[in-house]
Amino acid sequence: MAFVRWLKRHLVVIAGLLTLGYLLLPNVIVTVFSFNKPKGRFNYQWQRFSTDAWKDPCGVADMCGSLSISLQIAVWATIGATVLGTMIAFALVRYRFRARGAVSSLIFLPMAMPEVVMAASLLTLFLNMGAQLGFWTILIAHIMFCLSFVVTAVKARVMSMDPRLEQAAQDLYAGPVQTFLRVTLPIAAPGIAAGALLAFALSFDDFIITNFNAGSTVTFPMFVWGSAQRGTPVQINVIGTAMFALAVLFVLVSMAIGNRRNRQKA
Amino acid sequence: MTTDNSGDVRLSGISKTYGSFTAVHPLDLTVPQGSFFALLGASGCGKTTTLRMIAGLEEPTAGTVHLGDQDVTHLPPYKRPVNTVFQSYALFPHLDIFENVAFGLRRRGVKSVKKQVDEMLDLVQLGEQARKKPHQLSGGQQQRVAVARALINHPKVLLLDEPLGALDLKLRRQMQLELKRIQTEVGITFVHVTHDQEEAMTMADTVAVMNGGRVEQLGSPTDLYENPRTTFVANFLGSSNFIEAEVDSRSGEEIMLKAGGGKLSLPKARCSAPTTAGGKMLVGVRPEKISLTHADDAGEIPEGRNRITGKIANASFIGVSTQYVIDSAVCPEFAVYVQNVERDSRLVPGADVVLHWSPAHTFGLDAAQDIDAGIETVEEEAA
Amino acid sequence: MAAVTEVPPPLAPTAPEKAPRKRGRWTPYWLLLPGILWLVVFFALPLVYQASTSVQTGSLEDGYKVTWHFATYWDALSEYWPQFVRSVLYAAAATVLCLLLGYPLAYLIAFRAGRWRNLIMILVIAPFFTSFLIRTLAWKTILADGGPVVGTLNALHVLDITNWLGWTSGDRVLATPLAVVCGLTYNFLPFMILPLYTSLERIDGRLHEAAGDLYAKPFTTFRKVTFPLSTPGVVSGTLLTFIPAAGDYVNADLLGSTDTRMVGNVIQTQFLRVLDYPTAAALSFILMAAILIMVTFYIRRSGTEDLV
């Protein structure tokens, strides 16, 4: 009876943790199989423990090259989308102008559109223009679909900002440029950073739109896709595990620094 | 005294309209150098808009703003020698206290700010907190930072927009004295916007009571309280009793009035309404000016006092005084505050009483206005 | 005031500026211009091109011409309607599963996690940083034939039921609808959890106490207070799950078989392999229109308009 009562009390917790397990199980598999030594070309069945892949992460032809292309595209797409998106967010929050509704819809639509539709239509455009598919077409596409997400993130932050802060800066002898650089930008920074981080993650991990518009250029997700047909090298798991670990480490370290700073100040 | 008038604020015919809504009607106002000036009124009366036009945060629709001899009407805020203490302070959350206070100096190109900032923080007793962020301070401390951040720039005029509105009552009283002390110490012109009549009266040398985008009356706190010229001022500053009366006759500086069956008298100097015989007038008197005598002792009341008879409807004891509500023929709910010095045990609800007061405490207002103007708004603000 | 202070430079210019300030009437347009131009050229214009392509006829060799050949739409629909239906069904199933699985976790993070809250949040988001293709491939291992998961399901006779429902076939889970839905659910679960968490987190904990105080049992409290207050999260969560799931072709390709092909797979094949551009464009257009109509209808019904 006591057990039943305990179960009832903690039902939500148990269900939640099961879901968390479901979310993390693939990452566990990816990590475990990065130490596998598979027989044949595919790395789907456990054979025996080996650290070969970790010792030689770039041992597979073209993989690290594709990784580098993905990183370059992600960096440039992040910069482009963050700059353009931040400008739009400020215009939307701070100014009244005509065609506001139309602009808002144009921002919202890419987020409500299946990727495959955007991918196919963009390819149609490029084919019609006779554009050379490759690095630049991928970059253009990535900036396009990251833009809306940056706008949303930055907008939320700018909206919650007290307009009196900028008035106070003006009152304290800061001209428009100084006000923007010294007050507006620093306060909006967390929102801009969140938008940039999101853009980076979206761009780095994008497959569907990239696959349509890449031509012969191979990004890392495309390499993984191709290898699912040809044979999956263990190094893919090494990269996947390393990225997961780096992300967790990055967040934990920045949280620890934040905590320390708060404690020192208090 | 010097003849320096560079801290004068002169508003000439200044007004502000938003579309069809007029926030401030054309307004002339001069705030002399070195004074503590309060703009008092309920929310939406145009007091904050007026302040923001002095600060340069709103551009007037018409009229000019002068600081001393300089026309600053079209100067942006960052070029005006005035500083503002904002409502809810608007401290920069990303900068620590020191940098908040140093902000204005740095923007004007002052390189060595440390000494001045430290001195200023000491003045507001926050020297220890220099490296904290605003959110780590209490409300009262944040308020003092906001004052320090503005004052360090030696503005010609300091503008305060409801600076104490976010503080609890006790702290507010404390900060009122503190601000008054700082103003006396630095001697610059303060223009203070508030909806709290008590705050305006304790702190300011001159108070302008605003209502519906207009200044209703301007004067010293005592002047406004003792001799209000509109029902709004009479009700907004403290509370008042009104009797509808008719002018009977005039004898020299004395006006005689008829109200119900009785007669009242009023010095002409305390009357802001036309005094033609037979004309209507509102006669006002503050509740604490009135004495209460049991009807049996009516004979002991000295001659020459205004008197009214009535019945006690309600009495509430509140420590320093007892507040009575009297039902009388000329006014259904007459409020009387009696100091608890010698309590007459016969003064209980139901007792017949005579209310009497000196004619010198009576004021006469134009009858063509709303008796209740300024009452509801006060309660709203207090809520 | 202090005696020795650095005197700031004189402030106001002697002559007042005559021209009244204009509050940058054109500033918003300059701010909007580059980004909006980008979206117009690379998002809106392509949709126009696609619309035009869908009514063209011709061949790769001779080129295409706009001939208002609407029959392409009809042909595409009549040939590929099973894939359309499948897309909607799979996406709907994945959305429902995401809601059922995601709600307890979002609730756990919002109300019961205490000091573990941040850690759990990190664990929900961190998998994003491993390429989703790699993680989807991991499901091939998890659901492998004869593996522990399939073995357990078999032993519990779950597979008998799913076989009977047509979700699986024989002793296999891989290459069946169940595997595809499972992969879709997995891939879009965070998009359900995050908005749910955001709207749950805004709920004042005292409301639960108030409901309890007013004689509501825990489940009644949930049904009458918590869930209604979390509807904005439910609405945006379901949209963020359903829309990408309906257009997805990765899960169907990696975890499914030719019998689980979704409309995304068809569009991809037509565009990149068969090179039948008009058909691909028509399919893509139908998918877009269908989703926009469904989304609009759904938003209207749920009464939440502020999704962005």
Report how far residue A22's alpha carbon sits from residue B224's, in angstroms, rounded to the nearest whole number. 74
Q: 């780096």: which residue's tokens?
A: A246
Sheet holding B157-161, edge to edge: B82-85, B157-161, B189-194, B36-40, B206-211, B214-219
Q: Classify residue B331 by its DSSP letter.
A: -
Whether residue A223 has pLDDT greater than 90: yes
- How far apart (Å, rounded) are the C-alpha atoms in residues B224 and B232? 11
**Does residue A172 belong to the interface with chain B, where contact is any CB pair within 8 Å?**
yes
pLDDT of residue A263: 63
CATH number of B240-382: 2.40.50.100
Residues of chain A in contact with residue B93, where contact means CB-CB under 8 angstroms, are 165, 187
Checking if the pLDDT of A107 tops 70, the result is: yes
* Residue ranges per structural domain of chain B: 9-231, 240-382
Query: Vertex C206, ends C204 and C211: CA angle to 5°?
Result: 110
Q: Which of residues 28-67 of B touch C (CB under 8 A)?
A: 59
As its CATH architecture, domain B9-231 has 3-Layer(aba) Sandwich (3.40)
- CB-based burial of residue C149 (10 Å sphere; 0-12 exposed, 13-18 middle, 19+ buried)? middle
Query: Considering only CA atoms, which of B118, B104, C28, B114 is closest in space to residue A182?
Result: B104
Instruction: Using a pLDDT cut of 90, give the percent of chain A over it.
Output: 61
* A/C interface, count of CB pairs below 8 Å: 249
Residue extents of the structural domains in chain C? 32-65, 80-302
Closest-CA distance of chain C to residue A30, Å = 6
Question: What's the pLDDT at C274?
Answer: 85
Confidence of residue A140 (pLDDT cuts 50, 70, 90): very high
In this predicted structure, the answer to whether residue A233 has a pLDDT above a threshold of 70 is yes
The pLDDT, as a whole number, for residue C158 is: 86
Rounded Cα distance between B332 and B135, Å, is 52
Mean pLDDT by 10 residues, chain B (383 residues): 72 91 91 92 90 92 92 91 91 93 92 91 88 91 92 92 86 88 88 91 92 92 92 90 88 84 85 80 92 89 89 90 90 88 86 92 88 64 40
Superfamily of segment(s) C80-302: MetI-like (1.10.3720.10)
Phi, psi of B205 (to 5 degrees): -80, -40
Q: Do B74 and C16 touch (CB under 8 A)?
A: yes
Q: How far apart are CA A14 and CA C287, in angstroms?
A: 38
For residue C2, the model assigns a pLDDT of 38
**B104/A164 touch (CB, cutoff 8 Å), yes or no:** no
Residues of chain C with pLDDT under 70: 1-24, 303-308
pLDDT band at A147 (very low <50, low <70, confident <90, very high): very high
In whole angstroms, what is the distance from residue A254 CA to residue A193 CA? 13
Measured in angstroms, the CA of B344 and the nearest CA of chain C are apart by 50
Question: Distance from A128 to chain B by nearest Cα, in Å?
Answer: 50
Which residues in chain C have their CB less than 8 angstroms from residue A221's CB? 131-133
**pTM, whole model, 2 decimals?**
0.81
Token pair 């990251």 is found at A146
B13: how many CB neighbours lie within 10 A of its CB? Answer: 12
Q: What is the pLDDT of residue C302?
A: 76
Distances (CA, A) of A65 to A77, A135, A173, A216, B88: 18, 13, 52, 13, 55
Long-range contacts of B98-104 (CB under 8 A, 24+ apart): B98/B130, B98/B131, B100/B134, B100/B145, B100/B149, B101/B145, B101/B148, B101/B149, B101/B152, B102/B152, B103/A169, B103/A172, B103/A174, B103/A182, B103/B149, B104/A172, B104/A173, B104/B149, B104/B150, B104/B152, B104/B153
Q: Is C11 at the interface with chain B, CB within 8 A? A: yes
Residue with tokens 């307004």: B27
For residue A3, the model assigns a pLDDT of 86
Best A167, A170, A172, A184 residue to mutate vs chain B (most B CBs within 10 Å): A172
Contacts of residue B92 in chain A, CB cutoff 8 Å? 165, 168-169, 183, 187
Chain C residue at shortest CA distance from A104 = C308
- Say yes or no for a CB contact (<8 Å) between B94 and A186: yes
Q: Tell me which chains share at least 3 CB pairs under 8 Å with chain C.
A: A, B
Scanning A63-82 for CB atoms below 8 A from C yields none
pLDDT value for C57: 85
